[in-house]
Amino acid sequence: GQSLEQPSEVTAVEGAIVQINCTYQTSGFYGLSWYQQHDGGAPTFLSYNALDGLEETGRFSSFLSRSDSYGYLLLQELQMKDSASYFCAVKGNNRLAFGKGNQVVVIP
C-alpha cells in the first residue's frame, strides 16, 4: 500500500523561501511528483523526481531521497500567487497516491 505524510499549513511573507516535506511508504515506487492546487481548481503538475537528487524548475525545486523515502518541494522568492495547497504524490505503476497536502499562505 501507500501512505504519505505532509505537514498541514505554512504562512510566509512574499520573497521568502518555504520547504514542504513529504515522507512516504509504498510497496511500488516509480517517482515522487508535486502538484499545486488553488481553491476550487485542478491539481497542476509542478515537478517529478524519479531519481535521487534535486530538480530545479524556475523558482521551484524538488528533492528526492529514495533510501529515506523522503522528498521536499522548495518554493523560492514567494509570490502572492503561490498561495495554494501543495501535494506530493507517489507514482506507482498505474496510479498517483496523493498526500493530504500542505496549505501555503503568502502574506505581504
Partner 1 sequence: EPEVTQTPSHQVTQMGQEVILRCVPISNHLYFYWYRQILGQKVEFLVSFYNNEISEKSEIFDDQFSVERPDGSNFTLKIRSTKLEDSAMYFCASSPGTGGSFFGQGTRLTVV
The reply to whether 36 sits near partner 1 by the rule CB under 8 A is no
Grid cell at residue 46: 509542478
Asked if residue 29 binds partner 1 (CB under 8 A), the reply is no
Closest to partner 1 by CB, 46 or 78: 46
Cα-Cα-Cα-Cα dihedral of 84, 48, 67, 6, to 10°? 10
- Which position among 18, 99, 104, 106 is part of the footprint of partner 1 (CB under 8 A)? 99
Which residue(s) pair with 48 in the sheet?
A: 33
Minimum distance, C-beta of residue 75 to partner 1, in the bound complex (Å): 17
Handedness of CA 9, 15, 22, 95 (dihedral sign): positive
Part in contact with partner 1 (CB under 8 A); list of ranges 14-22, 38-46, 63-71, 75-83: 38-46
Interface residue with partner 1 among 20, 22, 24, 47 (CB under 8 A) is 47
Which residue carries 531519481 as its cell?
51
Torsion of CA 46, 50, 53, 54, to 10 degrees: -10
Residues that bind partner 1 (CB under 8 A): 33, 35, 37, 41-48, 50, 87, 89, 93-101
